[in-house]
Amino acid sequence: MELAKAITEFLDCLKSQKGYSEHTLRNYRIDLRHFFDFFKEKQAAAGAGASPDYPEKIDYQAMRDYLAALVSQYRRTTISRKLSAIRSFFQYLERENLIENNPTADLSAPKQAQYIPAYLQVDEIFRLLEGPDPNTPVGLRDQALLEVIYSCGLRVSEAAGLNLSSIEYAERLVRVFGKGQKERIIPIGHTALEAVQRYLDATLSLRKKQGQEGNGPQALFLNSQGKRLTTRSMHTIVKKYALKSQIMRDISPHALRHTFATHLLDGGADLRAVQELLGHVSLSTTQKYTHVSLDKLMEVYDKSHPRS
């Protein structure tokens, strides 16, 4: 079996059938190459040489050896991600009858540590949102970006993918495409809408240039060249204003998404409603945010209960 061809066909399948993003596909390719390079090195060290059909020779013990090597180098979250890519690949090979035995069938990933998402307190998020300079087009863009991510609880990739046509101003709704290109409709607050409108008014000439180029849908958030703002730039923007606001923690766009969910739950929102807004497939993914609400409940309990 030609390995490169098998990996390409596997990734094509993920893209066409499951709608995986280019970012996810790139990570899958990197993780698969890392694993097979590890196996090739073991083959060479043992004097067996490298064969174009070596995926067929990988057995359960080889998987255990790779897992042991990962444990000595990476965090559990990284290990789980790598094993997930490898497991999916061998399941694909098995389904396509390209291998007889799946070496990952009985492989268990290390138990994950309890993950508590980073989030901002109300006063911190207010300081962050007020950080950009409203007297410059760049400041207005950054303010609109921060407001929209926090108002809608967007993933950074979803924010980067927004177009001018994504927002329904009269209905106060935003249409986004999440993981697997799954569409969902999210409410957006008045404050965020006003920030977007100020930003659009300030960048009208830049948008006219973009519209004249006719390169598909017009992006909502632009860089100084009139091109779609990248996720990397959005990370930089959030970190810039976190530092300016004297928030001494590593804050990313995803922390604004966590803050959105946390503040909704603290305000009494139903967990399933928050699940829908975030675009989570499983309710258990959303439940990690309940620790904050429980902290708030404990505080109320300790202050109010006569026998606390």
Packing angle of the helix pair 122-129, 253-266 (nearest 10 deg): 140
**pLDDT computed for residue 292 by the predictor:** 54
pLDDT tens digits, one per residue of 238-292? 999 999 999 988 889 999 998 998 888 888 888 788 888 888 777 666 666 665 5
The Cα 216–Cα 100 span in angstroms is 45
Rounded average pLDDT over 125-129: 95
Are 292 and 255 a contacting pair, CB within 8 Å? no
Q: Are strands 183-187 and 173-177 parallel, antiparallel or unpaired?
A: antiparallel
DSSP code of residue 100? S
The 10s digit of each residue's pLDDT in 14-50 is 888 888 888 888 999 999 999 888 888 877 776 655 4
Helix axes 60-71, 22-45, angle to 10 degrees: 110
Axis crossing angle, helix 190-202 with helix 204-213, rounded to the nearest 10: 80
> Rounded distance, CA 149 to CA 144, Å?
9
Q: What is the pLDDT of residue 141?
A: 97
Please report, for the chain, the start and end positions of each structural domain, with discontinuous segments joined by +: 3-95, 122-302
C-alpha span between 247 and 96 (Å, rounded): 51
Torsion, Cα 82 85 87 88, to 10 degrees, reads 170
What pLDDT, on the 0 to 100 scale, is given for residue 283?
Answer: 67
Q: How would residue 209 be classed by pLDDT, with cut points 50, 70 and 90?
A: low
Closest CA to 134 of 191, 79, 186: 191
* Residues involved in catalysis: 155, 179, 254, 257, 280, 289
Which listed CATH number (1.10.3720.10, 1.10.238.10, 1.10.443.10, 3.30.499.10) goes with 122-302?
Answer: 1.10.443.10
Domains 3-95 and 122-302 share a fold: no
DSSP element (H, E) containing 168: strand 167-168
Which CATH entry fits the domain spanning 3-95: 1.10.3470, 1.10.150, 3.30.420, 1.20.120? 1.10.150
Greatest mean pLDDT among 37-46, 136-145, 251-260, 296-305 lies in 136-145
